[in-house]
Structure 1
């Protein structure tokens, strides 16, 4: 299997599991993953939040770990990577106000490279205007944004995922096995015992 270079973009209060688990899983299968955040350098950290489903109308939020970035945002280009991952949490809402982030997302999509987004991550895809006509899953609270961006919102179980061409999306961290598995297929990653 050829190593793929994957960019993961995050910001403060990214969902803890949605940055930690994919980062570790993609490294485990032999890919190189750079995690960046606008205005931050390698070695700096983003704060994370833990979102849990405890029987309320929506998730609860608790302070998570700090995640240490392993690459610097300044100068990052889609040309240097094979794919993009956008974890959820509250970070995508803030990231969607940064035009340089939106331009970066557009560059990945325009080049036809695989793009995975989980939970609130599709907010960034919607803000970049790149999902019109695509089947996209997201956390149910993001449904309106996905629809307003012209995509077909896919309501799947919390442990489900959807692939439409280069896009792989899931509604929340319980979907990690589904979306990571689908993303690896889109990447062409084969895992053999």
Structure 2
């Protein structure tokens, strides 16, 4: 297996599990993951938020961890990466307003490189215009944006994921086993136990 270079777009109050778990899991199997955030440099951090499903009409939110960035956003050259990872949480709602974020995402979409997005990460994909004709899952509250972007919203269980071409998506962090496994498949990663 050849190690892949993966770009991860994060921001303040991104979902803690959706940042930490794939960041660590992908490195554990040998991939390089470069975590970047607009307006920040390597060594800076983003504050995460923990979202939980506790029986309310929507998820609850609690303070998460400080997540240290590994690289400078301003130095990102999308062509040097094999895949893109977009966690959810509240960060996507403002990251999608950054023109360079959209340009980066568009590069991966046009090049047909693997893209993994979870939860509210679909907001960035919708804003970048890379969902047209795709089957895409997201947190249910993002359904209108997914559909307005020309995608088919995948109504799947919270612990499931869906792959359509170069895109793997899931509704929220309970889907990590399925979502990460499908992303690894897109990356060509074969694990033997």
Shorter-chain TM band: over 0.9
Note the 1:58-69 alignment, pairs <5 A.
58-69=58-69
Please state whether the residue corresponding to 1:120 is helix, strand or coil: helix
Q: What is the Cα-based RMSD across aligned positions, in Å?
A: 0.5
Instruction: Answer yes or no: is 1:12 the counterpart of 2:9.
Output: no
Q: In 2, distance between residues paired with 1:73 and 1:98?
A: 12
Q: For residue 184 of structure 2, what is the aligned residue in structure 1?
A: 184
Q: For residue 160 of structure 1, what is the aligned residue in structure 2?
A: 160
Q: For residue 43 of structure 1, what is the aligned residue in structure 2?
A: 43
Instruction: Answer yes or no: is 1:92 the counterpart of 2:95.
Output: no
Q: In 1, distance between residues paired with 2:138 and 2:52?
A: 16
State how many pairs are aligned.
193
Q: In 2, distance between residues paired with 1:99 and 1:78?
A: 14
Structure 1 unmatched ranges of 5 or more: none
Q: For residue 135 of structure 1, what is the aligned residue in structure 2?
A: 135
1:55-105 residue CA offsets vs partner (Å, 9 max, x unmatched): 001000011001000111012021111000000000000100001100100
Structure 2 unmatched ranges of 5 or more: none
Please state whether the residue corresponding to 2:177 is helix, strand or coil: helix
Q: In 1, distance between residues paired with 2:40 and 2:111?
A: 25
Please state whether the residue corresponding to 1:85 is helix, strand or coil: strand
Q: In 2, distance between residues paired with 1:51 and 1:77?
A: 31
Q: In 1, distance between residues paired with 2:109 and 2:149?
A: 15
